[in-house]
Structure 1
Amino acid sequence: MTLNDVILLLHPVFAVVVVFPLIGMVLNRSILTRRRRLQTSPGKSKIPPQVGPEHVQMGRWLTGSVVGLALLGLAAPISRKILETQLWITNPFQVVFIVCMFLATIGSLVLLYRAKPWYWRATFAGLTSLGVIVLGLQDGVFRRDDEWFVSHFYYGMIATVLMILSLAMVQDIYRDRTQVWRRIHILLNCVATLLFLGQGITGTRDLLEIPLSWQKPHLYRCDFANQTCPDVSSQLPIVSPPLV
């Protein structure tokens, strides 16, 4: 594999090694937290009280990891497109804009972690989500617009925004005695869990469709609509067996 192939693998490697294990731990803590909170039988609960704070902390880690995963997955195709088209010569403003969007998105996420008042949390959550979406609309990003309902890109965008919203509303969950924010949080994360499951399926499918750099000139001669490739067997040189 070339360096470009290795860079493309950073996104799925980070997802498998970091993000999906975190998803499992967050789900486990969320189930234990809900069981402890709804427990009505007398006596001491067998579920330790620290599962709640652990769920919140792991959820914060998960949000940062998901946003980082999305930015990592977007950075590779965008930078490759910039290098192939030499965009810094033809349109330097767009290159500066893309770099600023990456920096602004990361900065907005950091400020979202630090924000306390609801209006600042809403502002930075909106800016972080907007940054991820704008970067996803750049040239070079494979989106499958004609098959959006099974698109790895669209699943990822929605899941990332849901994680950002979940992080922004954590403080409101503990202040709201009507449990409205808690129900919204549960609903959003149930949808996000289904999207993450779809991410695992569509991501595996897309890995099968992405050829190595040295294979591209040959595979791109194929007719993907009819699922046929030109017969090159007649063009291969005939190699004589070695003489014993």
Structure 2
Amino acid sequence: MEFQDFLALIHPAIAVVIVFPLIGTVVNFAWQTRVRRLQTAAKDKSKIPSSVGPEHIKMGRWLTGWVVGLTLVGLAYHIVEHILSDRTWTKAPLQVAFILLMFLDTIAALVLLYLAKQKIWRGLFATLTGMGIVLLGCQDGVFRRTNEWYWSHYYIGITATLLMIFSLAIVQDIYKDKSNRWRTFHIILNSFALLLFIGQGLTGTRDLLEIPLHWQKTYIFSCDFNNKTCPQAVPPSEDTR
């Protein structure tokens, strides 16, 4: 493996080592929080400590940050690889400057979203963060598998990321809403997000199998993917064995 092949492993490594364990922790706390709330409402004594609610919120906030960061890392690898291979900085320097600005603006918007208290500012910074993710995902070099959008690692990942951003934006409203409508909405959306993360595990594994090493790409991309055939490789001569 060459250095750029190791760089390609940063995105899946963060997912496996940090993000997916965090998802398990958040789901565990979410389930305990709901069970404790139902037991309390039924006036039963719960053995689940009251700290699970605050811990669920804290871990959920961490999860959103890591998911957005993971998405930015994945997008950055493919965008930078395309810029370097196509020498985009010489052909369209303004485009490169725009991409860099979008990365910085998206990170700044996410930080401000964490700090925002009023609903209008949370809505604004959540929108800016989501827009930055979507605009970066539209750049050249990002493999989207649009013909199979329903089974695309890109589209599933972007959707899950946007749901995490939205969840972070509404978390303060959940505890202020006495009708529990925001809470119900939060449960439905994040249950769907959990299914998307499972899909990310499956599609990410598939994509790792399909991505060749850097020195193999010339040969692999010469294959006929429709007929699933590749040019016949020339065996090495006796002198080179």
Which TM-score band (shorter chain)? Answer: over 0.9
Alignment of 1:1-244 (within 5 A): 1-39=1-39, 40-42=41-43, 44-232=45-233, 235-239=234-238
- 1:237 deviates by 3.4
C-alpha distance after superposition, 1:170-206 (max 9, x if no partner): 0000000000100110011011000000000000000
- 1:236 deviates by 1.5
Letter in 2 for 1:237: P
Output the TM-score relative to the length of structure 2.
0.97
For residues 220 and 114 of structure 2, the distance between their equivalents in structure 1, rounded to whole angstroms, comes to 45
Local SS of the residue matching 2:223: coil
Local SS of the residue matching 1:215: helix
Change (3 A) 1:121 1:182: same
For residues 118 and 218 of structure 2, the distance between their equivalents in structure 1, rounded to whole angstroms, comes to 54
C-alpha distance after superposition, 1:33-80 (max 9, x if no partner): 000001145453100000000000000000000000000000001001
For structure 1, the 5+ residue unaligned runs are none
- 1:239 deviates by 3.0
Local SS of the residue matching 1:214: helix
For residues 42 and 125 of structure 1, the distance between their equivalents in structure 2, rounded to whole angstroms, comes to 38
For residues 44 and 237 of structure 1, the distance between their equivalents in structure 2, rounded to whole angstroms, comes to 75
Output the TM-score relative to the length of structure 1.
0.95
For residues 169 and 85 of structure 1, the distance between their equivalents in structure 2, rounded to whole angstroms, comes to 41
Pairs aligned (count): 239
Which one has the largest radius of gyration? 1
C-alpha distance after superposition, 1:192-229 (max 9, x if no partner): 00000000000000000000011112212211111011
For structure 2, the 5+ residue unaligned runs are none
Runs (4 or more) in structure 1 with deviation over 2 Å come to 40-44, 237-240
Change (3 A) 1:3 1:133: same
Letter in 1 for 2:161: T
- 1:231 deviates by 1.9
For residues 229 and 91 of structure 1, the distance between their equivalents in structure 2, rounded to whole angstroms, comes to 35
Query: What is the CA RMSD across the aligned residues, in angstroms?
Result: 1.3
C-alpha distance after superposition, 1:72-115 (max 9, x if no partner): 00000100111111111111110110000000000000000000
